[in-house]
Structure 1
Amino acid sequence: MRLLQDHALFQTRDLDEARERVAAVFCPHRLEADGALDACHHHLPGHDLSLNYIEYGARTLIAPGELGRFYLLQVPLSGGAEIVNGAARYVSTPGQAAILNPHLPTRMTWEAGTRQVLVQVSRAAMEAQLAALLGPSERPLTFDGPLDLTKGPGAALRRLILWLVAETDAGSPPIGRGLMARQIESTILAGLLEAPHDRQSALSRQRAAPRPRHLRLAEGFIEAHLDQPITLEEVAQAAGISPRGLQMVFRQHRGTTPLGFWRDQRLARAHADLLQAPPGTRVTDVALRWGFTHFGRFSEVYRARYGLSPRDTLQARIGAGM
């Protein structure tokens, strides 16, 4: 089944048309097919990234050189691709994704029958996400080789991306417009920073560094009020810092906002409760316990974080108990 069907750009058997239409979204490239081409491209644009579904049918050589303005995550659904990105050479399969660096020359050969979901990420946005954690740098972020999709952060990122695709195909595109869409995009970028890259050691040191006093006080206040509505001004007052200063501290050390941290902690507590729920527990009980009064939105952000719905988590717990 072809994904993102409502966002189709083209379907063609003409090689030149396929090259030109794909280049309009990505970048100019060399395209050669070994066999009968049956190409399609479906495209959902967001603010800092886009979701794409592409297949060519035949075995296909794609040589764009340097991508320039974007990173590209390629998640094969079937088939596979031989990847060359700078000095890195590997095979991308449904078990491991390719992450293409924009500043290194790229050359790919897709096997016949390969179907892929591609996440095109703005280079500027990716670098801004990293700078918020480590400070600005003139050295480009460089991902190392393939991303394991079978476990750990890679598996979580794959689930999130396929959820975005599924929601889009259900008629509710989760990216494009709105505050939640921007937060979802930020989560994708954060997930990419969990992949192997040349700044991982610096990120690990930053995460292990002692927390500033204002951050410790703010996090302590938030932890003590997870089940209550709070405001940025209340957190800032408890931390002894201005609201703007508190925002900057959280951006620098946590990569989020104070209220984003508050929401994420409540979500984690709700997840833990669902995993340990006794018989008779309802999802609404858990959501209300941690201050989520909009159940549809709670389900959306929960699924985006954990890859399944709160109800599925609860049913799995009940099933395991039985």
Structure 2
Amino acid sequence: MLQPLAPRPLQAHALFQSTDLDEARERVAAVFCPHRLETLGRRARLNARQHHLRGERLSLNYIEYGAKALIAPGELDRFYLVQIPLAGGAMIANGGTAYYSSPARAAVLNPHRPTTMIWDEGCAQLLIQIDRQAMMDHLAAQLGARSDRMLTFDGPLDLTTGPGAALRRLALYLAAEADQGRAPLGQGLMARQVESALMSGLLDSGAHDHAAHLGRARAAPRPRHLRLAESYIEANLRRPLTIEEVAAAAGISARGLQLAFRQWRGTTPLGWWRDRRLEAAHADLMAGQTSVTDTALAWGFTHFGRFAESYRARYGIPPSETLRAARTRFED
């Protein structure tokens, strides 16, 4: 039997721990929705716990039941739910779709389709609960118009490569930040951008009925002011920039520039600038001809701890591991 990660994610945000079935059902329902909860097997021994970090439009959760458990909430109604197994797995039925979710395959539960699940004994999961209306609003921002139908996901989400692996890394990174007292969710522009990044990650990685429309929207020509802003940022990667400076170079207001990047890039202008610098730093480290410190300084990262955290969130490993692997490759 697979064991949950130790320490458990979101340990600093423990909500409850109980061996009582009724209490577990009631406490989980208070965050999610009323549901049927039963243990399976004559020797089943429940040891349920939930950790919960609430944001403005979504929440991060960690749940385990210990025993094999049947969970039947019906329609979730108010929210989408992404379930990322960290140990064990679960059989998922959401509407007419059924599949097995594992550490390699997340489950995405639609709010408007009935759900029934059987979690394996020892199953432990990190869950992203996203408000239904917030998800539809975010979709509309990406499409440039509101959809006339509910966003519907189909089947499991691949966590091993591409956007799915990035989504998993981001969720675990945010949980780790919360456990270090740097809660990434809550109020403010940065917290909203974090939530938007999670929703964009879900749209990019999950199979859903709006994927083709999103592809056409993103393939459309960029507005002139966005092209000018991106060109200016690319030409000035190595020095500090402000939103006001970039906006002036693009001939648009700072607010207008933020809205353009949010609609077309799913991030902020400075977030896009940071990502380009991380890509440049990654390329230098992959070449194996420099040090982590020199690379960070060369691309404007003066806080080495933050650089390492941002790099790990994007690439899944510390910058030192990238450099070590590159040097080993060249030595071979």
Shift of 1:8: 2.0
1:198: which partner in 2?
209
1:63 to 72, 76, 79: 72
The structural deviation recorded for 1:72 is 0.9
1:129 partnered with 2:135? no
- Verify the 8 A CA contact 2:37 2:69 in the aligned structure 1: yes
Instruction: For 2:20, give the aligned amino acid.
Output: D
Quote the Cα distance in structure 1 between the aligned partners of 2:128 and 2:195: 11
Provide the residue aligned with 2:163 in structure 1.
153
Distance in 2 separating the partners of 1:89 and 1:205: 29
* Superposition RMSD in Å: 2.1
C-alpha deviation, 1:95, in angstroms: 1.6
* 2:35 pairs with 1:24: no
**Would the alpha carbon gap of residues 250 and 163 (structure 1) be closer, same or farther in structure 2, given more than 3 Å must change?**
closer
Partner of 1:47: 56
- Residue 309 (1) aligns with residue 315 (2): no
SS at match of 1:219: helix
Work out which of the residue numbers 222, 227, 233 in structure 1 matches 2:238: 227
- 1:276 equivalenced with 2:282 (yes/no): no
Task: Confirm or deny: 8 A CA contact 2:98 2:155 kept in the other structure.
Answer: yes
Write the distance in 1 (CA, Å) between the matches of 2:328 and 2:81: 39
Contact 1:287 1:295 in 2 (8 A): yes
Mapping for residues 1-322 of structure 1, pairs under 5 Å:
1=6, 3=8, 4-34=10-40, 35-134=44-143, 135-170=145-180, 172-176=182-186, 180-194=190-204, 195-278=206-289, 281-322=290-331
**Secondary structure in 1 matching 2:127:** strand
What are the superposed Cα offsets for residues 262-311 of structure 1, whole Å, 9 maximum, x if unpaired?
22212221222222231xx2222112222222222222222222222222
- What is the rounded CA distance, in whole Å, between the counterparts of 1:12 and 1:72 in structure 2? 23
Aligned to 1:118, the other structure's residue is in SS state: strand
Q: CA deviation at 1:89?
A: 1.1
Instruction: Assess if the C-alpha contact under 8 Å between 2:193 and 2:267 holds in 1.
Output: no
Residues of 2 paired with 1:32 and 1:81: CA distance? 14
SS at match of 1:228: coil
TM-score of the aligned structures, taking structure 2 as reference length: 0.88
Report Cα offsets for 1:209-256 as digits up to 9, x if no partner: 122222222211111111122232332232233333333322222222
Normalised to the residue count of structure 1, the TM-score between the two structures is 0.91
CA contact 1:97–1:146 (8 Å) conserved in 2: yes
Asked if 2 retains the 8 angstrom alpha-carbon contact of 1:184 and 1:304, the reply is no
**Partner Cα distance (2:17, 2:46) in 1:** 10
Three-state SS of the structure 1 residue aligned to 2:76 is coil
